[in-house]
Amino acid sequence: MRTPHTTGPALDIQGLRITLPGTARPVLDGVDLTVGPGETVALVGESGSGKSLTSRSALRLLPPRATVEGSVRVAGRDVLTLDAAGLRAVRAGTAAMVFQDPRAAVNPLRRIGDFLTESVTLTGVMGRDAATARAAELLRAVGLDESVLSKHPGQVSGGMLQRVVIAAALMGDPALLLADEPTTALDVTSQAEVIALLAALRERFGTGLLFVTHDLDLAAAVSDRVYVMYAGRIAETGPAEALFASPRHPYTAALLASTPRMEGPRGRLAAIAGQPPDLRQELPGCAFAARCPLATEVCDQRAPRPAAAPGRPEHLAACHHSDRLEGSAVDAR
């Protein structure tokens, strides 16, 4: 493992609040999240919960006219306050993102070698010869032959191209790798290969990894810690094993209950009743209250603050009734 870029977190988000014109509440509402050097952190939740926006904030890829509060530190630098040159430096070498569809990330008319080397050469991170050597090294690290450098994207499979995109993300030796649903567009075999690859690369390069997914089984398999997000807020966070074994928020429990299983009796798949709240709707209380089987009057009136489980200081849940959930299941339907 290489020496980390910083002794502090690879990513440290504190009090992140993002508001868009025409909305009654923030799309991200006071998000706190950290990723340590060499750590894999999963960010899970339903579509529209704010997962992708949270991860993209690390590169300051924000919606137009957004009002932003809080801090987003990547290897110690707050990207929300950087000037243009500082932001380019972060994007070129300190943090990188692997998007969901690898074919959407590359120019089909250019060779893969050009795709891999362009950003680091244009930003002056390294010269062309050094960049080509680095690209060949990383292709070997992701299990590909350096002959791929001369190919066009249409000449390789989807699984191979996702490996190329991962290699591109590692070109600048980033402290932080952001993976936004990186296996969704792949077949099952390719998914398993990419997950194993990310784990091996994290171990080899000591890179912090934020893994965004809606797949709870996948999150459990790859992550050290998990954040569960709902309606722009963190509902629960904790070590992966403890969180999935004993969820402390009704939303987490409902997500787990609605996950399809091969074992057990066949029947209708469970689903979480209702819909996430509209952004035009104010939420003075708990965002999940309208869909929660444990909700009481206090849930509609006052937003819960994250609180630790007894004897488990790293396992936090923002729920007024976490004690009622301990050791019990929540019906997702």
Do 311 and 170 share a structural domain?
A: no
Do 196 and 131 share a structural domain?
A: yes
Residue 44: phi and psi, rounded to 5, are -120, 160
Do 247 and 145 share a structural domain?
A: no
The last residue of a domain, from among 203, 223, 243: 223
Do 244 and 213 share a structural domain?
A: no
Residue 331 in any domain: the answer is: no
Tokens 């890829």 sit on residue: 61
Q: How far apart are CA 12 and CA 108, in angstroms?
A: 35
Question: Which pTM value belongs to this model?
Answer: 0.89
Q: Which domain holds residue 63?
A: 11-223
Lowest mean pLDDT among 6-15, 17-26, 55-64, 262-271: 262-271
Lowest mean pLDDT among 71-80, 182-191, 243-252: 182-191
CATH of the domain at 108: 3.40.50.300
Helix (H, G, I), strand (E, B) or coil at 6: coil
Residue 173: phi and psi, rounded to 5, are 55, 60
Find all residues with CB under 8 Å of 146, minimum gap 6, and list them: 135, 136, 139, 140
| Tokens of residue 32, six digits | 């706190």
Do 93 and 175 share a structural domain?
A: yes
Do 259 and 137 share a structural domain?
A: no
The last residue of a domain, from among 223, 242, 271: 223
Whether the per-residue pLDDT at 28 is higher than 90: the answer is yes
Do 117 and 247 share a structural domain?
A: no
Do 38 and 23 share a structural domain?
A: yes
The last residue of a domain, from among 223, 249, 283: 223
Mean pLDDT of 127-144: 91
Whether the per-residue pLDDT at 7 is higher than 80: the answer is no
Residue 6 in any domain: the answer is: no
Do 204 and 254 share a structural domain?
A: no
Q: Please report, as a single letter, which amino acid is at residue 105.
A: A
Residue 333 in any domain: the answer is: no
Do 270 and 213 share a structural domain?
A: no
Do 113 and 18 share a structural domain?
A: yes
How many other C-beta atoms can be found within 10 angstroms of the C-beta atom of residue 159?
21
Q: Please report, as a single letter, which amino acid is at residue 75.
A: A
Q: Dihedral of CA 35/39/44/50: which sign?
A: positive
Residue 332 in any domain: the answer is: no
Q: CA angle at residue 241 from 237 to 245, to 5 degrees?
A: 90
Do 112 and 149 share a structural domain?
A: yes
pLDDT per residue as tens digits for the range 63-98: 999 999 999 999 999 999 999 999 988 988 899 998
Mean pLDDT of 123-147: 89
